[in-house]
Structure 1
């Protein structure tokens, strides 16, 4: 019979084999999410740490097969069910809980449960701070950096609801890297747990200061 360590090792090897080329969504990302999620789980009193690790490691596996990014949660959940049922000792109930978290992690609507809340928050925490800036710069490297006429961008201080409206109307995040940074900042509004909200504050301030300092340096005479 496999131990918990064996289950996680199986999952790690599987995830590493399929998450090879996605910029800003590689194994380093899911490993960071795992660390955040374990910290959140311990602080929030969620005891099934093995499921936390597995959901964190597998939450983006759907990116390797989904036809559109918006579907990667659903695709990843199905992939997780197939793999976990065949390769691990997790019970069907725990597999369903992990799959539910993966299925809904990339939306702030739908789904329920503390495992989902922890995974969502851990994934969002990786959007903030120095790591968040690195991810914005690497994932949007082909875009212009900022608009000289509006350095902080038209999306500066927009909320998650504001960005939802932009997506619904087809406008999207924006044309500049700074818009991506502003979008990531807006995700702060969607954090679920008190632990995540506290952890996010200094990282959010760091990113805000970066954008403000960019304006100071570019606009200075």
Structure 2
């Protein structure tokens, strides 16, 4: 029942929601993440109280709905492991394709280098170029070479050899689909989006450069 939502926890969340429009820094869901926790607690309390006030079929409907929501939450948590930072609700876009609807700390915050390195070792690649968002020291040492893009024009896919020397390029989703860089680097991202990657980890797309060497995608 709607009136069951009139509890103090839900009221606090509404106050935070209203105040959030006045926040000077509007970057990332983390700024209003406490709202989610308060909503979960407030709605849970409302469901319990609603169930107590109902009887028969209506009470069973509330119970089934509650169990379904709990199962969905548990299934999502288990299914996304160990990529919890990348989680995107299935109704919004799903975790696998979430990089297209969210960015930055909501998906790729530089946490995927360990997974990328496992992929590199599994495929016997000695060195690879890296265009990566983050400050993990792993990214600054061999077998990785930080890609430096200091060319003042857009490059076509065959011209990528101008800046890629290892033959392999891994690009983080934040740089590939995010809004960070204007000018040539944004054009570089657009060029890469037009090329079919040969493989993917959760937060990196992997390309073979030059593109003409591509035989078939990696497994």
TM-score (ref. length: structure 1): 0.29
The higher radius of gyration belongs to 2
Q: Which has the higher helix share?
A: 1
Q: Which has the higher strand share?
A: 2
The structure with higher relative contact order (CA 8 Å, sep 6+) is: 1
